[in-house]
C-alpha cells in the first residue's frame, strides 16, 4: 500500500508532510497499514462547559472516525489503481486522500490541542511561547482577539491556526479551507476546528461564542512543546 505522506496533494504539488514533525506525528504509526482513530486523551465531558459532551462524542466517534474510514478506503483504492497502472484513477483518488488524510491529521492534532480546565487547560504559563506571543501580539488577550476576528470573518468550513514559520521563527495567524493541513515551512502551534460540527449543536449560528469559549480549554502545554520543537 502506498505511503500516505507521499500521496497528499495541494493542487499539483505534493505535501511533504514528513518534513514537519508536528504534522507527521499522527501518521507515525501508519507505516503502510490502515490509519486508526487515535485515543482521545480525556472523556467526552471533560471539556464542559466550553465544549459539550455531545459535541465531543459526535465529533470524535462519528466525524473523525468517518475521515479515518474514508482515508483507508481511498488508500486501498489508490493501491489497486497504482498496481493496475490506471493513472487517471490515481489522479481522481488524490482528492479523497487529501480531504480525508488532511482531516485525520488536523483532528489528531486538535484533540491534543485541548485540555480540561482541571488539568490546566486555558492557562498559558511563562515560557518561550508566552514570550513570543507577548513580543508579537502584546499578550495573550490580543492574540485571542486577532484570532477570533480571523475566525469570525472566515467563510465556509476549515481551520484556524496559530502557526510558526520555521524560517523566520515568526508566529502567524493562518486559515486553511476544508480539511487542508498546514504544510511547507508552517508548523501548527494551536488549531481551532472551524467546521460547524465543532460548535453548532451548542452555539447554533453564533460561531463567535465557540471562538470565545474554546480558549478556556486550549492546551498551552502542548502548544509550548510544539513551539519549542521548532
203 is in an annotated binding site: no
63 is in an annotated binding site: no
CB burial of residue 163 (10 Å; 0-12, 13-18, 19+): buried
Residues 66 and 158 in one domain: no
Q: What percent of the chain shows pLDDT beyond 70?
A: 86
Residue 14 lies in a domain: no
DSSP-assigned letter for residue 121? T
**Is 14 or 190 the better-scoring residue by pLDDT?**
190
- Range of the structural domain that residue 72 is part of: 53-115
Give me 193's grid cell.
Answer: 476546528
Residue 32 confidence (pLDDT): 56
Residue 96 lies in a domain: yes
CA distances from 227 to 5, 19, 151, 222 (A): 22, 16, 22, 9
Does pLDDT of 67 surpass 90?
Answer: yes
Mean pLDDT of 142-165: 96
- pLDDT, mean over the chain: 86
197 is in an annotated binding site: yes
pLDDT digits (tens, 9 = 90+) for 111-126: 999 999 999 999 999 9
CA distances from 76 to 10, 13, 87, 90, 121 (A): 20, 22, 15, 11, 39
Mean pLDDT of 11-22: 34
Residue 168 lies in a domain: yes
Residues 123 and 111 in one domain: no
Residue 83 confidence (pLDDT): 87
Please, which residues bridge with residue 192 across strands? 160
Residue 8 confidence (pLDDT): 47
Rounded Cα distance, 226 and 230, in Å: 7
pLDDT digits (tens, 9 = 90+) for 17-40: 333 333 333 333 344 578 899 999
Residues 141 and 222 in one domain: yes
Mean pLDDT of 86-109: 92
Structural domains in the chain (count): 2
Residue 21 confidence (pLDDT): 37
Residue 90 confidence (pLDDT): 86
pLDDT category at 211 given cuts 50, 70, 90 is: very high
Q: H helices of the chain, where?
A: 21-24, 53-58, 65-84, 87-112, 128-137, 140-153, 200-203, 207-214, 220-228
Residues 102 and 162 in one domain: no
pLDDT category at 181 given cuts 50, 70, 90 is: very high
Residue 219 confidence (pLDDT): 98
pTM, entire model: 0.85
Residue 230 confidence (pLDDT): 80
CATH code: domain of residue 104: 1.10.287.990
Amino acid at each position: 500500500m502506498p505511503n500516505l505522506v507521499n500521496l497528499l496533494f495541494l493542487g499539483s504539488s505534493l505535501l511533504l508532510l514528513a518534513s514537519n514533525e508536528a504534522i507527521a506525528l499522527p501518521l507515525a504509526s501508519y507505516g503502510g497499514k490502515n490509519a486508526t482513530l487515535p485515543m482521545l486523551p480525556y472523556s467526552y465531558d471533560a471539556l464542559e462547559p466550553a465544549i459539550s459532551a455531545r459535541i465531543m462524542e459526535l465529533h470524535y466517534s462519528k466525524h473523525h472516525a468517518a475521515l479515518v474510514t474514508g482515508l483507508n478506503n481511498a488508500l486501498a483504492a489508490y493501491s489497486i489503481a497504482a498496481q493496475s497502472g490506471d493513472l487517471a484513477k490515481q489522479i481522481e483518488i488524490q482528492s479523497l486522500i487529501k480531504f480525508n488524510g488532511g482531516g485525520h491529521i488536523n483532528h489528531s492534532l486538535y484533540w491534543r490541542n485541548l485540555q480540561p480546565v482541571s488539568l490546566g487547560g486555558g492557562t498559558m504559563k511563562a515560557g518561550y511561547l508566552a514570550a513570543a506571543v507577548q513580543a508579537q501580539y502584546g499578550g495573550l488577550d490580543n492574540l485571542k482577539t486577532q484570532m477570533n476576528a480571523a475566525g469570525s470573518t472566515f467563510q465556509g468550513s476549515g481551520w484556524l491556526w496559530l502557526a510558526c514559520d520555521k524560517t523566520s521563527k515568526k508566529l502567524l495567524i493562518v486559515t486553511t479551507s476544508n480539511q487542508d493541513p498546514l504544510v511547507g515551512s508552517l508548523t501548527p502551534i494551536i488549531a481551532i476546528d472551524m467546521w460547524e460540527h465543532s460548535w453548532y449543536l451548542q452555539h447554533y449560528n453564533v460561531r463567535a461564542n465557540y471562538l470565545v469559549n474554546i480558549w478556556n480549554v486550549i492546551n498551552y502545554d502542548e502548544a509550548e512543546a510544539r513551539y519549542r520543537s521548532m
